[in-house]
Structure formats: structure tokens, C-alpha cells
Amino acid sequence: MSDRVVITKYRDFMITALIRDDRIWDILATASGEKSDFRPGDIVKAKVISIQSNLNAAFLLLGSAVKAFMELKERTDIRPEDEIVVQIVKEAFGEKEMVVTPAYSVAGKYVALTFGRCGVGVSRRIPDEKKDSLKKLLSSRLGGESRIGAVVRTNAEEAPESLILEEFEKLYKEMVNIGKKAEYSVPFIRLYSAPSEISSYLRDLRTPPDEVVTDDSEVYGTLKDELNSDEKLSGRIRLYTDRDYPLIKLCRLEAAIDEAFKKTVYLNDGGTLVIEKTEAAFIMDVNSGRNAKKLSRDKLILETNLEAVREAARQMRLRNLSGMILIDLINMSSRDHREKVIAELRSELNKDRIRAEFIDLTGLGIAEITREKRKLPLMEILSR
């Protein structure tokens, strides 16, 4: 398996694409050239403007003209003019203010530390036999800490304990430093600057890519600086300088982006995957093609459904679909075939850098999936 990450400009966006075995596997789109005062992940000392009881929420001021919205699920004791520390979780969009939370955290590749949520949690993707040892490892370091907790991330599964502890100590010092700065700072001060979205994307990949290539010198400099301490990544970042053959053309990224806007995806066996958005979910409808291989009907349906779930998982990554996703498979009469398709779907979802979970395969042959929402779908971002 060969992995390469390509970062290049497309219109007013920076496109980060993971290419696996010469096929585009995943796409991240970020605004290019915009110098926002704050971005998701930043931790800021804010001032409460007003409490909206009917919304069970508060509106905050992060700067002279930067407003934010905060639900009161985790802080019900605040009043107007109070000063509190919050973390930005969602950027502003249209007329909607950015969303913040008082339960802030700082994350590394293996561990995330949380303020206000004590104890040690472990990623559900890590096998049970490994969870206990990782929990004990960090619980011993936290000791009687009553304000800071830890979450062991999926990447820690195969990492040596020394690397996990090294990162934990670094993040713990950062959390302590945030607390000290918050105590003596005036409102509107940024207490912690989140790494760039592209750096976070690279850090969160389950396995480091063989190469990271960009033709943008500013992005190149940012990545070299932010990933300097990551031994596996820092030496693999390369600046592409061939102006005669742009990177976006070389890697066929425009074609992949165009694909993400199309309703119908054609499968290799001649079948199709038709993707539509409804108010409640994304629907993927599987249709069979010609029986060119002269297979039995049951075998043809199995092969089509297996290819369809692999492509459906890829389209979720490419389009950044989230929430409830339903795949309307071709009905299978064989229980063994149903189980094979479920196993294939679970395997593909487990490769996703974003948490995606298979829920059920209904009697009508509809596979139910949930995928965590971190950003808007690719189509909505590029249509701004």
C-alpha cells in the first residue's frame, strides 16, 4: 500500500487529498488566503454578553466584533459580564455565529487532554485487551487531578508507551499553562492557538503517508514548522516546484472534486450508486448492472453489494458526509451473503479517520450508518 498526501490550491480553497495506491481516498477542503482572527480549536478568554433562557444558551464576545454561541449544558452558573475560558468548536457560517464550549481540550496524535472532564477514556476502536493497560498508564500520571482528564486516541493502539507518555507530558504542561494564563489575562486574549487544519489532518491519519507534497510555499513552511517534532512526518514533506505541470492536474484532483458533485457513481461491474440528500439523512441507492461475468443471480447481487459498500465508504470520505447515512442494498436471500456484506462494510468504515459506525442491516436490506460531523460536506464548502 502506497500513501501520498497532495496539498494544492483550487479556486479559493486549499485541497488536501490522500491518494492511496493511485486512487483518491479522502479530501479535505479549507479556505485559502483568509486570515480569520480565530479558528476551530483556539482557546480564548471570552466575556458573556447575554443569556437566552429560551434557547438554553449564551452569547459571548471573543473580540471587539467577534460573537459566539454557547449552549449551557455544561455551564449553568454564568451571568452577563462574566469572563470564561472557551474553545471554538465550529466556525461562523452565514449569519450564524461561531460555536464555542467551556469544556476545552488540547489534542496530540495519541492523547487528548480535557478540562472539566476527569478520568481516562479510551477510543472504542482500541481492542478491550489493550484498553485496560492504556487506562492504567495515564491514570497513574493524572493521579488525583480533579480538573483535567485524558482520552486515549485510536493512533495509540500500536504506539510505544514512551511516545504516548512523552506526548501526555507535553500536553499536560500546555493545559497547566492555559490555566495560568487564563487566571491573569484580560478578556479577548487567545490562550491557545490550534494547529492548522491541514497539520491536524496529517496528524490524525492512522498511518503516516509515504510523502506529503505541496506546491504552496506558505503551506510548506507552516507544515515544516508545526510538524517539526513529528519524526515520521517532518522528513516526508516536499515542495513541488514544476510550474509547467500543476500538481492539481498531475494528480487528477479536479476530476475527483467533480465526482463529488455528481449524483450517480458508476461501479466497475456496471452497477451504480445513486447518492441523494434528504432532510434527515443521506441515501445511497445500489443498482445492479449487466451480468457480463454470467454469474448466478445471487452471486451477481453479492458481488455488486460488496463493491457498492466499498465505494459508499469512499464516497463518505470524499464528500465528507455525516449524520445518518442509509445504503439501500440489493435484496439478498442468503444470510451468509448478508453477513459478508456487513463484514466488508464494517472493515471499510474502520479505515475512516472520522468515526463512522455501522448500526444495522434492516429486513428491507437497508444498511444504517452514522458518521461523526466535523465539517460541512465538501459540496457545501466549495459552493460558498
Q: Is 300 exposed, middle or buried (0-12, 13-18, 19+ CB in 10 A)?
A: buried
Q: What is the pLDDT of residue 168?
A: 94
The backbone torsions φ and ψ at residue 241, rounded to the nearest 5 degrees and listed phi first, read: -125, 10
- 8 Å CB contact between 102 and 70: yes
Please give the C-alpha separations between residue 110 and each of 157, 168, 204, 256, in angstroms, as whole numbers.
8, 8, 9, 31
Please give the C-alpha separations between residue 307 and each of 170, 235, 272, in angstroms, as whole numbers.
44, 36, 10
Tell me the β-bridge partners of 100: 88
Answer whether residue 5 shows pLDDT above 60.
Answer: yes
Question: Could you give the CA distance from residue 203 to residue 20 in angstroms, rounded to a whole number?
Answer: 17
Answer whether residue 192 shows pLDDT above 70.
Answer: yes
- 8 Å CB contact between 360 and 325: no
> Which residue type occupies 241?
T
Q: What is the pLDDT of residue 138?
A: 92
- 8 Å CB contact between 369 and 356: yes
Sequence-separated (6 or more) residues with CB below 8 Å from residue 96:
69
- The pTM assigned to this predicted structure is 0.84
Please provide the average confidence, as pLDDT, over all residues in the chain: 90
Q: What is the pLDDT of residue 38?
A: 84
Buried b (16+ CB within 10 A) or exposed e, 78-115: beeeeebbbbbbbbbeeeebbbbbbebbbbbbbbbbbb
Answer whether residue 361 shows pLDDT above 80.
Answer: yes
Q: What is the pLDDT of residue 291?
A: 59
The pLDDT tens digits of the residues spanning 253-269 come to 999 899 889 999 999 88
The backbone torsions φ and ψ at residue 31, rounded to the nearest 5 degrees and listed phi first, read: -65, 135
Question: Could you give the CA distance from residue 137 to residue 124 in angstroms, rounded to a whole number?
Answer: 17
Q: What is the pLDDT of residue 112?
A: 95
The pLDDT tens digits of the residues spanning 327-353 come to 999 999 899 999 999 999 999 999 998
Rg of the chain taking only CA atoms, in angstroms: 23
Lowest mean pLDDT among 37-46, 56-65, 136-145: 136-145
Task: Look up residue 44 and give its three cell numbers.
Answer: 480564548
Answer whether residue 293 shows pLDDT above 70.
Answer: no
Question: Could you give the CA distance from residue 303 to residue 273 in angstroms, rounded to a whole number?
Answer: 14
Count of CA atoms in the C-beta half-sphere (13 A) of 92: 13
Q: What is the pLDDT of residue 205?
A: 85
Average pLDDT over residues 276-303: 84
Q: What is the pLDDT of residue 215?
A: 94
Question: Could you give the CA distance from residue 261 to residue 379 in angstroms, rounded to a whole number?
Answer: 6
The pLDDT tens digits of the residues spanning 72-127 come to 987 878 999 999 999 999 887 767 889 999 999 999 989 999 998 888 999 988 88
> Which residue type occupies 85?
V
Question: Could you give the CA distance from residue 134 to residue 121 in angstroms, rounded to a whole number?
Answer: 9
Lowest mean pLDDT among 103-112, 288-297, 312-321: 288-297
Task: Look up residue 9 and give its three cell numbers.
Answer: 490550491
Answer whether residue 359 shows pLDDT above 90.
Answer: yes
Structure confidence at residue 294 as a pLDDT band (50, 70, 90) = low
| Strand bridging mode 366-371 / 356-361 | antiparallel
Question: Could you give the CA distance from residue 234 to residue 53 in angstroms, rounded to a whole number?
Answer: 48
> Which residue type occupies 219?
V
Q: What is the pLDDT of residue 141?
A: 87
Q: What is the pLDDT of residue 182?
A: 93
The pLDDT tens digits of the residues spanning 203-221 come to 888 788 999 999 999 999 9
Answer whether residue 33 shows pLDDT above 80.
Answer: no
In 3-state terms, what secondary structure has residue 168?
A: helix
